[in-house]
Structure 1
Amino acid sequence: MPFVLKKLFVKEKQRAFIFLIKELGYAQKEAQRFIAKGRLLINGEVMNISSKEIEGEVEFIHFEPATRNLKPHIEYEEFVVFDKPSGVLIHPQNRNTQYSLIDELKYQYGMNANITHRIDQETSGLVLCSKNKKSERDLKIMFQERNMNKKYLAMVHGKLNSNISIEAPLLRKEDESSIVRMVVKVHKDGKKSKTDIKVLKYFPELKMTLVECSPLTGRQHQIRVHLFHMKHPIVGDPIYGQSEENIIKFLDKELSREERIKNSGASRLLLHASELNFKLYDKNYNIKSSVDFLKEVQKSLLI
């Protein structure tokens, strides 16, 4: 398990965050943030004031990355790219999460390595990760300033006859009436959002269309919500387009593979981050996934 309760001994009285910097090698901001989050305990009680002086035995909830031997897709001096399988989290959901991509990254490249953007747990494909603090900052700025071109492959329900550009504002807010508390939906009060959709192939026997999606903005669930809004939801989506009963069963991990295929068309979300194009330190990069997405589609349709 990546989060472990570590017993530590403070020989000389000192401020809590300074001790964590010396003992575990954290940067000052990290040490202060972890203490504020309640990860430092004294006599079993949370001590969340980073400037408070401590002495003697303390306990700290320490992140110790684990590995499942997921090999990087491609590696450069400043960054590395993983081809994440569907079902793998980017970050732990809580302290009981057994494994996420951040485990693999930090296990292989050290604690200064970090993930620079997110894709959903069920979305497979390319994830760009920094190997040091400088490249982390520069890559995150690139995403924020939209200097990163991303392409996704998706299998959607129904037949799309032509390429489309979806411009629909997306609102992300907590909805107390919804079973999925944090919902994303098309709404006039939402943020400007645009996704270009290119039709690749229609499969009449499946009544599904393979499309390439280029999100020109980076909203949460953007591609999923835009395609659902156009009445062509992504095959295998367990949330958008599903009944409340089936959403509850999915969230409670009580939805069988057979039920999910019957309800949504596939055993996983058929969305794959397939390509990244960007310029970093005066060099252009075009990185493509090596995964055969159509084979993944085929596997996910079988009961």
Structure 2
Amino acid sequence: MPFVRKRMFAPKKQKAFLYLIQELGYTQKEAQRLIAKGRLFVNDTPMTRTAGEIEGEFEFIYFEPITKGLEPTYEEEEFVVFDKPSGVLIHPQNRYTPYSLIDELKYQYGRDANITHRIDQETSGLVLCAKNKQSERDIKMMFEHRDMKKKYLAFVHGYFDKELTVEEPLLRAEDESAIVRMVVKVDEKGKASKTVFKPLEYFPKLNMTLVECLPYTGRQHQIRVHLFHVKHPIVGDPIYGQSEENIVKFLDRELSEDQRIENSGAKRLLLHASELAFHLYEKPYSIKSKVDFLKICLLHVM
């Protein structure tokens, strides 16, 4: 378990955040944020005052990363790229999450290493990570200026016969029924979004198409919603293209694997972040995934 509750001892009365800075190497901002989140316990009671004091025994919950041996697909002095498997979270959802990509990154490169962007838990593929705080700022600025070009591969239902540009605004909001708790939809009140889709190969026996996806904006679930909007939902998508009843079952973790395969065509979302292209520190990079995504798709649907 990455989050560990550890018994500690302060030999003299002092500010709790100063103790964490001196003993565990946190910055003042980090130490005070963790205290405010209730990570420090005195007599089993969480201290949330950032200027609170400690003396004697107390307990502190901190993040202790673990590894599952996932090796980076590309590495430079300032950054590293992982090929994230489907099913692995980018960050823990809560302190009981057993493993996420941030575990692997911090285990291998230290506490200052950080992930600079997100992909969905079920989406596989490339994730760019900074090795230190300065490169984290530089890379996030690059994303903010949209200097990153990303390519995805998606295995979709139906015959996708020609290149298509979708420019439909996307809105993140609760469904009007208040039953479905997670939905992004095409809505004129939403944020401008643009994705270009290029068909690569059609599989007539499956009635499915391998499609290259080029998102020009980075909205949540953008590729999934745009493909659903043009009536080519991604194979294995448990949300878009599904009935409300089955969406609720999936969100409540009551949908069996067999039911999901029957409803959506696969037990995982067949979407893969396949390529990153960018300029950083006056050098161009074009990093491609080493995963044979088409082989994975065919294994899941045949």
Under a length normalisation based on structure 1, what TM-score does the superposition of the two structures give? 0.96
Distance 1:292 1:214 in 2: 19
Distance 1:177 1:299 in 2: 36
CA offsets per residue over residues 172-224 of structure 1, 9 Å max, x none? 13447343323211111111111111111111111111111111111111111
Unaligned runs of 5+ in 2: none
CA offsets per residue over residues 32-68 of structure 1, 9 Å max, x none? 2111111111111111111122222111111100111
Q: What is the match of residue 18 of structure 1?
A: 18
Unaligned runs of 5+ in 1: none
CA RMSD for the aligned pairs?
1.3
Q: What is the match of residue 246 of structure 2?
A: 246
Identity of aligned residues (%): 71
Q: What is the one-letter code of the residue matched to 2:173?
A: K
Q: What is the match of residue 152 of structure 1?
A: 152
Q: What is the match of residue 293 of structure 2?
A: 293
278-287 or 242-251, which deviates more: 242-251
Q: How does 1:236-275 map to 2 (within 5 A)?
A: 236-275=236-275
Distance 1:188 1:284 in 2: 37
Q: What is the one-letter code of the residue matched to 1:280?
A: L
Distance 2:176 2:25 in 1: 41
Q: What is the match of residue 216 of structure 2?
A: 216
Q: How does 1:1-303 map to 2 (within 5 A)?
A: 1-175=1-175, 177-302=177-302
Q: What is the one-letter code of the residue matched to 2:53?
A: E
13-22 or 1-10, which deviates more: 13-22
Q: What is the one-letter code of the residue matched to 1:211?
A: V
User: Number of residues paired by the alignment?
Assistant: 302
Distance 1:180 1:21 in 2: 43
Under a length normalisation based on structure 2, what TM-score does the superposition of the two structures give? 0.97
Is the partner of 1:182 in helix, strand or coil? coil
Structure 1 residues 49 and 219: CA distance shift in structure 2, 3 A: same
Which 4+ residue blocks in structure 1 deviate beyond 4 angstroms? none
